[in-house]
Amino acid sequence: IRNLKIKTDCKFVINAMKKWIHVWETNGWKKTNTNEDVRNKEDFIELDNACQRLNDVAW
């Protein structure tokens, strides 16, 4: 699989993967407003790693 289209109704996951993930990585997987660990960070790290191995991921 090189291209993947993911359909979900979970706005949190969509926003996380399209908007927040690079900020979280830069901040050491901490939320910018509270400096707390990102909830489910291990899952997001794994998902991000999987997405990086693909040519294209559409949300």
pLDDT tens digits, one per residue of 4-55: 999 999 999 999 999 999 999 999 999 999 999 999 999 999 999 999 999 9
- 48's CB contacts (< 8 A; 6+ apart) are 17, 21, 25
Residue 6 is predicted with a pLDDT of 95
Global pTM value: 0.84
For tokens 């407003």, what's the residue?
33
**Where are the chain's structural domains?**
3-58
Task: Give the C-alpha separation, 30 to 27, whole Å.
Answer: 5
Residue 1 is predicted with a pLDDT of 86
* Architecture in CATH of 3-58: 2-Layer Sandwich (3.30)
